[in-house]
Amino acid sequence: GESVGLHLPTLSVQEGDNSIINCAYSNSASDYFIWYKQESGKGPQFIIDIRSNMDKRQGQRVTVLLNKTVKHLSLQIAATQPGDSAVYFCAENITPGSTLTFGKGTMLLVSP
Amino acid sequence: KAGVTQTPRYLIKTRGQQVTLSCSPISGHRSVSWYQQTPGQGLQFLFEYFSETQRNKGNFPGRFSGRQFSNSRSEMNVSTLELGDSALYLCASSLGNRQETQYFGPGTRLLVL
C-alpha cells in the first residue's frame, strides 16, 4: 500500500487481492479515527472507525490497524472487488467536539 | 432515516458574487460541519455548528460564514467569490459528541467563473 502524502497516491490491485491503504496522522493527541470511501461524484461514505484505546478493529471485509507509537493507521480490504474502486481517506478527531482532520486520500483502482 | 441532503447540487457563479448553500442533517443530529474539497488541498474544515452556535472554526477568511437554525439545518455563505473558491462543498452531520462518526451529504459543486 501507499502512504498518504501531499499528492494523491494510487494503489492498483487485481480483483480478489487484498488491499492495504496507509495513513500517517498528525497529532499524537488524536483519540478517534475514521476511514471514509469517496466514489466519483459522491460525498465520503463511512467505512470503519477505531478509538485510540484499540489497535485493531474488524468489519465486513475491512480491518483497521492503529499504531500509536508511529502515528500510523492502515485499512485492509480483503478480497477486493471492482466496486471498491474509490478514493479512501483517513480522518482524525483532534479538537473538542466532532471536527475531523482529513488526510489527502489514496485512490484504489481494482481491475477485474 | 434519510441521509444528509445538500442543495443545490451544482452552482455556477461569477467572481464578486455571493452564494448560499444549504444542508439538512440526519434527523436527530445536532452538529453540522462544513468542508471544502479541492484537488490541490483535499478536504479542509470550514466550521462546525452545534445547537445554533459555531463551535469550531477552520482557517478560512471571513468571506466564509455560516449559521444553523433551530431545526439543525445549516447554511453557509461565501461573499465576494474568487476563482479559487471553486470546489466541492460538503456538509456532515453527527449527534455532536466526540469520538463519533460524521455522515456526509453528496456535496454542492461550485464553479466560479
Whether A54 and chain B come into contact, CB under 8 Å, resolves to no
* Residue A91, helix vs strand vs coil: strand
- The Cα A111–Cα B9 span in angstroms is 30
Q: Which residue of A has its CA nearest to B91?
A: A43
CA–CA distance, A81 with A86 (Å, rounded to integer):
11
Q: Cβ separation of B106 and A49 shorter than 8 Å?
A: no
C-alpha triplet B54, B68, B86: angle, nearest 5°:
85
In tens, the pLDDT along B67-82 reads 999 999 999 999 999 9
Q: Residue B5: closest CA among chain A residues belongs to which residue?
A: A43
Those residues of chain B whose CB sits closer than 8 Å to some CB in chain A are 4, 31, 33, 35, 39, 42-45, 48, 50, 55-56, 90, 92, 94, 96-107
Strand B5-7 relative to strand B19-24, pairing = antiparallel
Neighbours of A59 (CB within 10 A): 12
Mean pLDDT in consecutive groups of 10 residues from the start of chain A, 112 residues: 54 96 89 93 94 94 96 96 96 76 92 92
Region B22-42 average pLDDT: 93
* SS3 at position B85: helix
CB contact under 8 A, A32 and B90: no
pLDDT in tens, B50-62: 999 999 999 999 9
Distance in angstroms between the alpha carbons of the first and the last residue of chain A? 19
| B39 CB-contact burial (10 Å; exposed 0-12 / middle 13-18 / buried 19+) | exposed
Spatial contact of A80 and A16, defined as CB atoms under 8 Å apart: yes
